[in-house]
């Protein structure tokens, strides 16, 4: 019995020593390295060209929105890159347009003639605004020198659109009659897609130029104040496709997380 105990003890000691000698070590070969996770964040802004009926200034056409066709946009975005070519990103953006001054002049003439007034004046100090929260896939295609990249994105999501106030005063027999088309807003679905070229100054910083096509179609209900009954151009809703082109300049910062090699830790 004593010999058996001695043999068991020796076996246990030998196994423990062997196990301690075979503790796995961190991989040091390149193929065993832990992959890093790449991210990028960027800010951009620039010129926006408005298309479609929103920039129309035809008094007889209720689709005319009397917006300027020139505006601006700005955005912030972040992307998680699944690999060197494909990523998933999110964008928070804003586009804005003033009412067209030539359109306001035509609008005043239209009210004057349709109401048989002596004169009329139309004004607006607020703007058309579009706020967007979009998500979608991002793609990157580097040139051979790896300094230049072609970036492509296709994103969609929630849009919040609001119209400006239109204030009109018609004068009949020397008496002013003011009324308004009040600012209104609506949520809708929107999307944009585009491409651009990016230049990398190093492993982290870069600049880029982008062109994007934007679409939304909000159903905006409009409330009028003090509007003369059955007189002139009265708009109670606006439900038209709204499209624009964004021309942007931006700055990008790339970063990565995670250990490059377990042997360092």
* Residue 20: Cβ-neighbour burial (10 angstroms; 0-12, 13-18, 19+): exposed
Average pLDDT of every residue of the chain: 86
Q: What is the pTM of this model?
A: 0.82
Percent of the chain with pLDDT over 90: 74
pLDDT given for residue 50 in this prediction: 98
Q: Which of 14-18, 38-42, 231-235, 259-263 has the highest mean pLDDT?
A: 38-42
Check if the beta carbon of residue 165 is closer than 8 Å to that of residue 181: yes
- A 10 A CB-CB count for 6 gives 10
Lowest mean pLDDT among 1-10, 111-120, 132-141, 170-179: 1-10
Average pLDDT over every residue of 167-184: 94
Average pLDDT over every residue of 186-211: 95
Residue with the larger pLDDT of the pair 52 and 258: 52
Euclidean distance between CA atoms 242 and 85, whole angstroms: 31
Residue with the larger pLDDT of the pair 2 and 161: 161
pLDDT given for residue 13 in this prediction: 40
Asked if the 2-264 domain carries CATH number 2.40.160.20, the reply is yes
Euclidean distance between CA atoms 163 and 165, whole angstroms: 7
Percent of the chain with pLDDT over 70: 83
> pLDDT tens-digit profile of 211-249?
999 999 999 999 999 998 778 898 999 999 999 999 999
pLDDT given for residue 146 in this prediction: 78
């Amino acid at each position: 019995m004593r010999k058996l105990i001695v043999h068991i003890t020796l076996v246990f000691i030998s196994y423990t020593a062997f196990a301690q000698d075979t503790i796995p070590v961190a991989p040091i070969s390149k193929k065993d390295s832990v992959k890093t996770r790449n991210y990028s964040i960027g800010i951009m802004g620039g010129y926006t060209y408005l298309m479609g009926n929103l920039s129309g200034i035809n008094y007889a056409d209720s689709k005319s929105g009397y917006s300027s066709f020139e505006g601006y946009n700005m955005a912030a975005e972040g992307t998680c890159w699944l690999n060197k070519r494909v990523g998933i990103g999110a964008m928070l953006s804003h586009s804005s347009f003033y009412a067209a001054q030539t359109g306001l002049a035509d609008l005043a003439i239209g009210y004057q003639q349709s109401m048989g007034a002596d004169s009329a004046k139309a004004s607006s100090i607020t703007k058309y605004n579009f706020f967007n929260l979009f998500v979608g896939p991002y793609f990157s295609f580097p040139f051979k020198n790896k300094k230049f990249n072609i970036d492509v994105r296709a994103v969609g999501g929630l849009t919040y659109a609001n119209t400006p106030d239109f204030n009109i005063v018609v004068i009949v027999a020397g008496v002013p009659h003011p009324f308004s088309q009040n600012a209104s807003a609506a949520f809708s679905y929107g999307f944009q897609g585009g491409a651009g070229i990016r230049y990398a100054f190093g492993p982290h910083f870069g600049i880029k130029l982008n062109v994007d096509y934007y679409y939304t179609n909000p159903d905006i209900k409009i409330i009028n104040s003090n509007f003369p009954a059955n007189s002139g151009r009265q708009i109670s809703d606006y439900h038209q496709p709204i499209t624009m082109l964004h021309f942007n300049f931006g700055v990008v910062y790339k970063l990565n997380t995670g250990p490059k090699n377990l042997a360092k830790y």
